[in-house]
Each structure stands twice: as structure tokens, then as C-alpha cells.
A = this chain, B = another copy of it.
Amino acid sequence: MESTTVNTFIQMDTSSLVDKVEANLVQLLVDRKLKIGDVIPTEIDLSKNLGVSRTVTREALLRLRMRGLIETKKKKGSVITSPDIFSIIGKSLDPHLLDQETLKEIFEMRLVLEIGMADFLFQNITAEHIKELKEIVKNEPDTSEDYVFHIDHEITFHGKLYEITGNQTLKKFQKLLLPVFDYVHNSGLLKKPATIKKFVSHKGLVDILENGSPELFRNAMRNHLENHFLRIFS
């Protein structure tokens, strides 16, 4: 708690006009006064009704557009759209601009996700899924020796796992982070393959999915991913 005297001060409203207009428009969406598919008035109409210049209106609309709340077409004006956070983020997530520490942590996060997924996998998996997974890993070498990670193959396999969980948001999240993984794989951050005594391959994972338990799967996945992981930082 601060001194009572200080607390009597009123916080100034330092927000700009654009801030206010933006908040105003978002509030309209939240209140469902405007629903998905609705077209919103033209910049000029909005400006008149809000009592601000067209410039300000434009900047506010630009922000909404960047947030994925509207789409703007020439002539027809803007229409409300359902925001897909992850695709929005994806557009402005440039791995080149992340520092090494963050990249490492994102890799860790992937590890956490794929270990934590186990229960959902076993809960949702079907014979059909198993079949598809087997198809994916068919041409993969059996042992870990001189096994070269092919990033595309990696993505296909692990992407399938995310898909099996049935959780669209999770899947989108993975898709979002793909460029990051891709970047790490292609940018010399990876060291020589670390040799782990007993490396679990994709085939091994599929086998466990078919015959094993969530517990077994978690350990196997940890082993599998740690092999990647250890390659990033000495």
C-alpha cells in the first residue's frame, strides 16, 4: 500500500484519440451490436459519427484489421470476421527476430506439450490413425545410427500427433511454432547429434501408441525429443 495522500491522485487518461476510437469499436463488437459478417460503415461515415478525422478512423481500423477482427475490401468497406488469433500471430512471428534464449524456451515448450498430450492421444486414437502413422514412418530407418532428421518428415509425423488430439487450438499452435523449428533446424544452431544410449524412434512411438500406455508414451516421447533438444545448446 502506498501513502494515502498519493492514492488520492487521479490517474490521467494518457491514451490517444486512436486508442479511444479503437476501444470504442471493439466494445461494439463485444456487445454483439455487430456480428460476424456484418459490414461496418465507411471510414467517412465513421469519422462523422465519431467526430474525428478520417486519419484517426483509418488508424483504428488498421489496428482492428491487424487483430484479425475485420477484413477490408476496396469499395465494399470492412466486414467483421471471426478472429483466428494464431494465424494473426503467425503473420507477425519472425524467428529471425527472436533471441536464442526464447528459441530455446519455445523448444522446451514443445517438449512440455508433446509429453502432456499423451492422455489425449490415447483417448482419441483410432485404428485408422494408427494406420496413417505407420504409413508415415514406413520408410524410416530402424535404428538411430546416422539417422538424419528430415525436417519435413518431422513435421508430418508430429503434426499428425497434434491432429489426433482433436484439439484444433493445439494444432494451430503447433502450426504457429513451425517456422521457429524450421528456422532452428536450418540456421546452424543445431550441434552434432547427441548420442543417447537408447534412442526412441518414430516407429517406437507408434508402437507404444498401439500397444502401450500413456505412461510409457510420455517417457518415450521425452527420450525422443531430448535427442533434438540436446542438439541446440551444448
Q: Report whether B93 and A85 are in contact in the complex, using a CB–CB cutoff of 8 Å.
A: yes
A114 within 8 A of B: yes
Say whether A116 contacts B119, CB under 8 Å: no
Instruction: Kindly report which residue of chain B lies nearest to residue A96, judged by CB atoms.
Output: B30
Across-interface contacts of A30 in B (CB, < 8 A): 94, 96-97
Interface residues of A in 42-71 (CB under 8 A from B): 55, 58-59, 62-63, 66-69
Tell me the nearest residue of chain B to A115, going by C-beta.
B116
Decide if A170 touches B85 in the complex (CB within 8 Å). Answer: no
Copies of this chain per assembly: 2
Cα-based distance from A198 to B163 in the complex (angstroms)? 31
Q: CB distance B59 to A169 under 8 Å?
A: no
Q: How far does the Cβ of A115 sit from chain B's closest Cβ, in whole Å?
A: 4
Q: Inside 8 A of A55's CB, which chain B residues have their CB?
A: 55
Residues in chain B near residue A167, CB distance under 8 A: 105, 108-109, 112
Interface string of A102-145 (1 = CB under 8 A from B): 10011011011111111110000000000000000000000000
Chain B residues with Cβ below 8 Å from A69 are 97
- Does A92 count as interface, using CB distance less than 8 angstroms? yes
- Asked if A173 CB lies within 8 Å of chain B CBs, one says yes
Question: Which residues of chain B come closer than 8 Å to A102, judged between CB atoms?
Answer: 168-169
Interface: A83 (CB within 8 A): yes
**A-B pairs with beta carbons under 8 Å apart, 8 shown:** A26-B94, A102-B168, A105-B169, A108-B169, A109-B169, A112-B120, A112-B165, A112-B167
Which residues of A approach B to under 8 Å, CB–CB? 26, 29-30, 55, 58-59, 62-63, 66-69, 82-83, 85, 88-89, 92-94, 96-99, 101-102, 105-106, 108-109, 111-120, 165, 167-170, 173, 215, 218, 222
A-B pairs, 10 with minimum CB distance: A116-B116, A105-B169, A112-B116, A67-B92, A115-B116, A30-B96, A66-B66, A105-B167, A108-B167, A89-B89
